[in-house]
Chains A and B, each alone.
Chain A
Amino acid sequence: MDSGVLQERADSIIIKRSGDHGCRQMDCEKASVAGSVSQRACVYCGARVVLNPITDAYHIIHGPIGCASYTWDIRGSLTSDSDLFRQSYSTDLREKDIIFGGAEKLKRAIDEIAITKQAKLIFVYATCIVGVIGDDIEAVCREAEEKHGIRVIPVKAPGFSGTKSQGYKLACDAIMNLIGNSPYKDIKKQGVNILGDFNLAGEIWLIKKYLKKIGIPVVSTITGDSSYASLMKAPSAALNVVQCAGSSVYLAKQMEETFGIPYFRVSFFGVEDTSQSIMHVAEAIGSEATIQQARVFTESEREKSLLFLKRYLPHFEGKKAAIYVGGGFKAISLIRQFREMGIDTVVVGTQTGKKEDYEVIENLVKPNTVILDDTNPAELEMFMRKMHADILVGGVKERPLAYKLGIAFCDHNHERKHALGGYEGVVNFTREVNLSLNSPVWNCLAGR
């Protein structure tokens, strides 16, 4: 293994060889190596990012202030109604609470919200020390539900209790806790739920628009732009489609078991994936007329998009991409999307990808491509240099690194500035990649 790589990380790095088809297994889905500059967050973060977009919920962070501060309105999830979720609520535990226990304070905090009469739904997140000091938050939540007649759902998410994926599961459990007994579960099944889209830059609105165009009703969106009322309707859907698989397949499986709603994965990133996903939905629950409509719609959108892409292809000739994102499925979509743009992916990694995801990735990419799980800046730098990446797609912590190296960048995480999903996203993504790759500012760099 190359120098600059921790010995313990060697099994989390795969270099694709020619003729190789995923025979080696990626070492993934485990805690980061102590002492590495991991780009990855914790269990609490996983739970928080999934539940955060529920717009009319109060999200109370039970713990010292940091975990509330850092997650205050961070996702860029848009809302069409309430903006309660954009405020930051916490118990701001102090030394006294650590010594005597924080349950009493949590009780009062819930009371102080309930008194406003605006609350229908409260999530209580227990962070690292809450379990250690022995607060029984389940009991507090149960009592509060009875006292105030609202839903108060505990999310026990101490940061150390696994990886970020564990947090996704906890969030899914919390949603099941919410909708498990919904009266809608006995209603005749029709329409779809969209799972695992968080309405960053309004992306869920695009997907809803497409499905509306071909005549398929969307029942509930989980959790982008959702509300207490809209989530409760979810059990009445005929189909679940899952965009961010890493966070939400677990929920889809539970909804299948509990409500008998089948599911499949979709991806609305890139022309081909978007078209395929729409067709897939139409064929699954649409009438013959719907399928025909979907065919016409996707064909015309596809043509428009390809025509658009064609104009940009000369700008991308010979360019190489590096990808470092949260989940495996997004990485796969991005590799495909870059291919549509004539760009080869030479480095690709994820924070929470699964073994199956890495197998797909390895089959997709060209020989010599570097595949990374839970990487760090040192590795990223080394491999991006070595593989001569021209652009990096990632999140906030990767951006300044890319810029320092004189590498273009596109944020495909919380800080995206426009929709990157759907056909509109193809236009936005292509433009952004082009602007960053070919910005005149690079010409000012020494040695160019």
Chain B
Amino acid sequence: MLDATPKKIVDRTALRVNPCKTCQPVGAMYCALGVHQCMPHSHGSQGCCSYHRTVLSRHFKEPAIATTSSFTEGACVFGGGSNLKKAVKNIFETYDPYIIAVHTTCLSETIGDDLKSYIDEIDIPAGKLVIHTNTPSYIGSHITGFGNMMCGFINYLSKKSNTVSDKIGIFPGFVNPGDMRELKRLATSMEAKYIMFPDTSDVMDAPNKGTYQMYPKGGTTVAEIKELGSVRKVLGLGTIVSKPAAEKLKVKCGVDFDLVPYPIGIRATDTYLMKLSHLYKTEIPAAIADERGRVLDGMIDAQQYFAGKKVAVYGDPDTVLGIAAFCLELGMIPYYMITGTPSDAFEKEGAALFEGYDVKPGVIKANADLFYMQQLIKNDPVELLIGNTHGKLIAKAEDIPIVRAGFPVMDRYFGAEQPIVGYRGAMRLAEMILNALLDRKDRDADDTDLELVL
């Protein structure tokens, strides 16, 4: 497996091998699926749409609907305006969404399609909406695209108001529906009044009731996105992914924001809850405090097995930062922190995580790939991988256990429905990590050393 990866690291300036990112539009599509009765629309060749739907279906094990402008040679020469016009008409007639969220592709960006003026010229049925965002695939990554789609919705819909509502906006970031559900549960327990945007719970983890709903009950409503313009504050989770949309809303509607890390692990969850506590002058409920106590209790019980374990964490920037922070709390060393998304903040924030800990990181690198990570591991090994399915190949090649978290996870089930955020998520993640380590310990133990009690 992956026999072609040499140990010696040679600088590459052009070749990307085994990427740790994908392109903007899939992030935009996922974001748009988190809006109620929304049809994501891919303005480009039909392959883009098909690939994005495939990867979303493979990760969430759910239907992922989206439409395409289905570009031909003609569209490339004359522009994609007539394709979009036809598409919008067809979509409203056949699939009857409330809103269509258009995102561009590398192709429509390069030929210079002006989406704003196209949409202005389209005869949109009364009561229906079409919005757009620009997602050039050659800038940033799917994380950038997710943020850009949020900006697109805000741009078109959010309204500034003279009266500030009692609500806050919570931007959950590019996380699973299970995470969003847990974030909402915690916010509700703090008596917060909030709008979560986007919200893919009950869309990309819709319960099976023997019927197919093209637009399941979940998703942020258009009314809520409008109302975002008058909330008292936005709590942006994921300092990197949620930043552009938070800034956009601030500029457009003057809404203040706080950016905090994904609430993965103890301290980051504490931060999330304290922010809510501060905003709503509520105490942390005893039941939630008990959840914290329980996961902490388990972490203490098992601390000897976590202690000093070197880990490679890879994937999307905020997810890696969050998991790495939790690894440190567990006594492990997030030795390699790798993301494919270009981001200076990632490297800075990654290094800052180690303050106050008596351990040092190996390599923290953005705009990197998994080929490079495998080479790092060959030179200075780790004992565990935490990240998406693509790391499985490295896990096999280097014989290292792997815990699946992040996006995409295409080879395991029940993941997207469950959280890794909050105290419950921490307990789940800690259990997954510990099981991987202990299964490995048992597997490697000689018969004489195999212990029944650990």
**Does A300 sit at the interface, judged by CB under 8 A?**
no
A35 to B67, CA, bound (A): 5
B76 to chain A: closest residue by CB? A160
CA distance A36 to B91 in the complex (A): 7
- B212 interface neighbour in A94, A118, A381, Cβ under 8 Å: A381
Q: Does A106 contact B (CB under 8 A)?
A: yes
Contact A34 B54 (CB under 8 A): no
Q: How far is the CA of A45 from the CA of B41 in the complex (A)?
A: 20
Instruction: Of the listed stretches B57-65, B241-249, B266-274, B286-294, name the one at the interface; the rest are far from the partner chain.
Output: B57-65
Q: Select the stretch in B13-21, B187-195, B444-452 that faces chain A.
A: B13-21
Query: Is B156 engaged at the interface, CB distance under 8 Å to the other chain?
Result: no
Cα of A272 to Cα of B210 in the assembled complex, Å: 36
- Could you say which of B4, B89, B214 has the most chain A C-beta atoms within 10 Å of its C-beta? B4
Structural contact, B211 and A34, CB atoms closer than 8 A: no
B22 touches A34 (CB 8 A): no
Least CB distance from A156 to B in Å reads: 13
Evaluate contact between B47 and A45: CB separation under 8 angstroms.
yes
Q: A35-B86, A405-B210, A447-B210 are in contact. Are A42 and B47 (CB under 8 A)?
A: yes
Q: With A42-B50, A158-B45, A381-B212 given, is the CB distance from A6 to B94 under 8 Å?
A: yes
Q: Among residues 326 to 370 in chain B, which have CB atoms less than 8 Å away from a CB atom of chain A?
A: 340
Q: Which residues of B contact A42 (CB under 8 A)?
A: 45-48, 50
CA distance A430 to B424 in the complex (A): 42
Q: Specify the main secondary structure of chain A where it touches its partner.
A: loop
Decide yes or no whether A288 CB sits under 8 A from chain B. Answer: no
**Residue in A32, A60, A108 whose CB lies within 8 Å of B70:** A32
Q: How extensive is the interface on chain A, given as a class?
A: 35 or more
- Counting CB contacts under 8 A, is B251 at the interface? no
User: Chain B residue with minimal CB distance to A66?
Assistant: B23
Tell which of A63, A89, A404 touches B17, judged by Cβ atoms closer than 8 Å.
A89
Query: Does B279 sit at the interface, judged by CB under 8 A?
Result: no
| Nearest A residue to B83, CB-CB | A34
For the complex, is A51 an interface residue (Cβ under 8 Å from B)?
A: no
Q: For chains A and B in complex, what number of residue pairs have CB atoms within 8 angstroms?
A: 248
Instruction: Report the separation of the CA atoms of residues A95 and B52 in the bound assembly, to the nearest whole angstrom.
Output: 21
> Given the complex, which residues of A lie within 8 Å of B95, measured CB to CB?
37, 378
Residues of B within 8 A of A60 (CB): 15
In whole angstroms, how far apart are the Cα atoms of A40 and B50 in the complex? 6
Smallest beta-carbon distance A390→chain B, Å: 14
Interface string of A281-322 (1 = CB under 8 A from B): 000000000000000000000000000000000000000000
Cβ–Cβ contact A69 & B21, under 8 A: yes
Residues of chain A with a CB closer than 8 A to B213's CB: 404
Q: Quick check: B18 and A129 within 8 Å, CB to CB?
A: no
A64/B137 contact (C-beta < 8 A), A35-B89, A378-B214 known: yes
Question: Which stretch, B105-113, B377-385, B434-442, touches the partner chain A?
Answer: B105-113
B136 adjacent to chain A (CB < 8 Å): yes
CB within 8 Å of A: which B252-305 residues: none
Q: Is the CB of B90 within 8 A of A8?
A: yes
Complex Cα distance A414/B168, Å?
45
B interface residues with partner A (beta carbon < 8 Å)? 1-4, 6, 10, 12-19, 21-23, 25-26, 41, 44-55, 57-58, 61-73, 75-76, 83-84, 86-91, 93-95, 105-107, 110-111, 136-139, 141, 206, 208-214, 340, 371, 390, 393
Q: List 6 A-B contacts (CB under 8 A).
A: A33-B70, A35-B69, A42-B48, A112-B10, A116-B4, A159-B48
Give me the interface of A with B, judged by CB distance under 8 Å.
Answer: 4-6, 8, 31-45, 60, 63-73, 82-84, 86-95, 97-98, 105-109, 111-113, 115-116, 118, 127-129, 132-133, 158-161, 164, 377-378, 381, 396-397, 399-401, 403-406, 445-448
The 3 A-B residue pairs with the shortest CB-CB distance, nearest first, are A42-B47, A66-B23, A159-B45
